[in-house]
């Protein structure tokens, strides 16, 4: 395992500060942004780096998130390395431009501090914002910790700009839970960061008048489908690029990243599949049950788009029962997006495990170790009976309890 040159000591940083520091070390050409809770301090701190001359970035303060992503598209089409940050309604306001960015094959990197979508208005964490954009053609990386969010920024740049990919990337971290929590982070040196991301040289640029290109032209039936096929093939290739970039990052900096994390799955009979910070809470429950002799485990997807379906199927195929926990509801009447995807993944598996979905933690509702233990109790009960009692269910609250004045009830 290689040790980074000029290795730094650990620092206590919030997720937003760590992301802003990583962006400073990348030193993008252009950073258009409109701040929104809970990712506001990413924009604030990065703008301070710009004001202090710590980066060469052109910071564009715009009037809305729609304008922010539109400016990202214009700058990236001109050949610039571009980054931004947003959350919740901000990402939703970017919606139409997200599709333009991916359709034009522009390697923009966006940090999203996951936050619930209105209505009603809520500033706390769930995954409804980025999950709503899961089919927009962006690559999605979900971060469990502050360290991972920091490290994902550098890898996102390499993934987005890879010649086989050339697609935008979202780096997701849980609003307030990770964006504002202070954790120990081991940064990499500025020189090492620059060496890792390298210099970006766009293949095409609107400013290259000697080699003119057309961007955003009309495409009717025949060419449109060709473009979409090419885009689909590129996002498929991103899976291998994520693995390749993760291995290089590990060799240089000693921290390992792949498509997902398997936790005590080797001999597990039942397991939870869950994203981001809630995985840490669930690991505590896994350890507690392992101490009691229960064969339980966890799988935490890091890459959600493209979905590493074959690898997830391989990791889960030996299990008897699986629970997928979604921090959003797809409003399909059939569970959350993680449940639906993992259930589809397991369809081809011989002797596939039983599976059920649980929706938790919406709008920042607490997800505690006791909640994780309750899910494992359901898993172990299903293992004994061989039957799923309830396929889809909301947890972390009592639907029968009246809503109290202080919000402590339903």
**DSSP, res 347:** G
5 pLDDT above the threshold of 50: no
Phi, psi of 84 (to 5 degrees): -160, 180
Domain-wise residue ranges, the chain: 11-253, 260-394
User: Nearest 10 degrees: CA dihedral of 39, 45, 50, 55?
Assistant: -90
Can you state the angle between helices 95-103 and 221-253, rounded to 10 degrees? Answer: 90
Closest CA to 378 of 397, 393, 399, 360: 393
End-to-end, the C-alpha distance of the chain in Å comes to: 50
The per-residue pLDDT for 292 is 98
The per-residue pLDDT for 399 is 83
The per-residue pLDDT for 9 is 87
Share of the chain above pLDDT 70, in %: 96
Contacts of 51 (CB under 8 A, 6+ apart): none
The per-residue pLDDT for 257 is 97
Tell me the pLDDT tens digit for each residue of 286-305: 999 999 999 999 999 999 99
Q: Which two tokens stand for residue 12?
A: 């206590």
Q: Give yes or no on whether 11-253 and 260-394 have one common fold.
A: yes
406 pLDDT above the threshold of 60: no
147 pLDDT above the threshold of 70: yes
Whole-Å CA distances, 199 to 29, 157, 206: 11, 11, 19
The per-residue pLDDT for 329 is 98
Whole-Å CA distances, 231 to 76, 103, 111, 303, 371: 17, 7, 22, 18, 40
4 pLDDT above the threshold of 60: no
pLDDT tier for residue 8 given thresholds of 50, 70 and 90: low
Whether a cis peptide bond, with omega within 30° of 0, leads into 254 is no
Are the C-beta atoms of residues 190 and 138 closer than 8 Å to each other? no
CATH fold group of domain 260-394: Rossmann fold (3.40.50)
Residue 122 belongs to what H/E stretch?
none
Q: What is the pTM of this model?
A: 0.95
The per-residue pLDDT for 3 is 39
**Pairing, β 83-86 against β 58-61:** unpaired
129 pLDDT above the threshold of 50: yes
Are the C-beta atoms of residues 95 and 105 closer than 8 Å to each other? no
Average pLDDT over residues 72-76: 98
Distance of alpha carbon 239 from the chain centroid: 14
pLDDT tier for residue 6 given thresholds of 50, 70 and 90: very low
Residue 328 belongs to what H/E stretch?
none
Q: The CATH number of 11-253 is which of 3.60.20.10, 3.40.50.970, 3.40.50.720, 3.40.190.10? A: 3.40.50.970
Tell me the pLDDT tens digit for each residue of 181-190: 999 999 999 9
pLDDT tier for residue 404 given thresholds of 50, 70 and 90: low
Average pLDDT over residues 270-275: 98
pLDDT tier for residue 7 given thresholds of 50, 70 and 90: low
pLDDT tier for residue 375 given thresholds of 50, 70 and 90: very high
64 pLDDT above the threshold of 60: yes
The per-residue pLDDT for 63 is 97
Phi, psi of 186 (to 5 degrees): -105, 100
The per-residue pLDDT for 28 is 98
98 pLDDT above the threshold of 90: yes
Closest CA to 216 of 136, 298, 326, 103: 103
290-296's contacts with Cβ under 8 Å and 24+ in sequence apart are: 290/264, 294/376, 294/380, 295/267, 295/268, 295/269, 295/270, 296/264, 296/268, 296/269, 296/270, 296/271, 296/272, 296/376, 296/379, 296/380
Closest CA to 161 of 39, 71, 29: 29
pLDDT tier for residue 1 given thresholds of 50, 70 and 90: very low
Distance of alpha carbon 71 from the chain centroid: 22
**How high does pLDDT run on average in the chain?**
95
Whether a cis peptide bond, with omega within 30° of 0, leads into 120 is yes
Share of the chain above pLDDT 90, in %: 94
């Amino acid at each position: 395992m290689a040790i980074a040159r000029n290795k730094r000591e650990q620092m206590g940083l919030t997720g937003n500060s760590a992301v802003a520091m990583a962006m400073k070390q990348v030193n993008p050409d252009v950073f258009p942004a409109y701040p929104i809770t809970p990712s506001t301090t990413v924009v604030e701190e990065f703008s301070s780096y710009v004001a202090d001359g710590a980066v060469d970035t052109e910071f564009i303060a715009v009037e809305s998130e729609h304008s922010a992503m539109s400016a990202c598209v214009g700058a990236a089409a001109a050949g610039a390395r571009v980054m931004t940050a947003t959350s919740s309604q901000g990402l939703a306001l970017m919606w139409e431009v997200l599709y333009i960015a991916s359709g034009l094959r522009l390697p923009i990197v966006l940090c999203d501090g996951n936050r619930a979508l209105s209505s009603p208005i809520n500033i706390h964490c769930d995954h409804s914002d980025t999950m709503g954009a899961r089919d927009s053609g962006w690559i999605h990386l979900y971060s469990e910790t502050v360290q991972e969010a920091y490290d994902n920024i550098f890898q996102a740049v390499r993934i987005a700009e890879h010649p086989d990919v050339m697609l935008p990337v979202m780096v997701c971290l849980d609003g307030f839970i990770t964006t504002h929590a202070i954790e120990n982070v081991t940064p990499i040196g500025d020189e090492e960061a620059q060496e890792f991301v390298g210099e970006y040289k766009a293949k095409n640029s609107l400013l290259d008048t000697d080699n003119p290109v057309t961007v955003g032209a009309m495409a009717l039936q025949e060419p449109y489908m060709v473009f979409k096929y090419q885009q689909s093939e590129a996002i498929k290739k991103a899976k291998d690029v994520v693995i390749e970039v993760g291995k290089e990052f590990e060799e240089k900096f000693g921290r390992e990243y792949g498509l997902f994390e398997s936790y005590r799955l080797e001999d597990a009979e039942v397991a939870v599949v869950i994203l981001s910070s809630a995985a840490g809470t669930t690991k505590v429950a896994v350890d507690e049950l392992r101490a009691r002799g229960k064969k339980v485990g966890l799988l935490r997807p890091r890459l959600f788009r493209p979905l590493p379906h074959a690898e997830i199927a391989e990791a889960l195929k030996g299990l008897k029962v699986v629970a997928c926990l979604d921090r959003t509801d797809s409003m399909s009447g059939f569970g959350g997006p993680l449940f639906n995807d993992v259930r589809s993944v397991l369809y081809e598996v011989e002797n596939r495990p039983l599976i059920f979905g649980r929706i938790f933690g919406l709008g920042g509702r607490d997800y505690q170790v006791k909640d994780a233990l309750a899910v494992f109790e359901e898993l172990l009960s299903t293992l004994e009976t061989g039957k799923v009692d309830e396929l889809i269910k909301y947890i972390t609250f009592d639907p029968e309890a009246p809503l109290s004045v202080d919000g402590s009830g339903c």
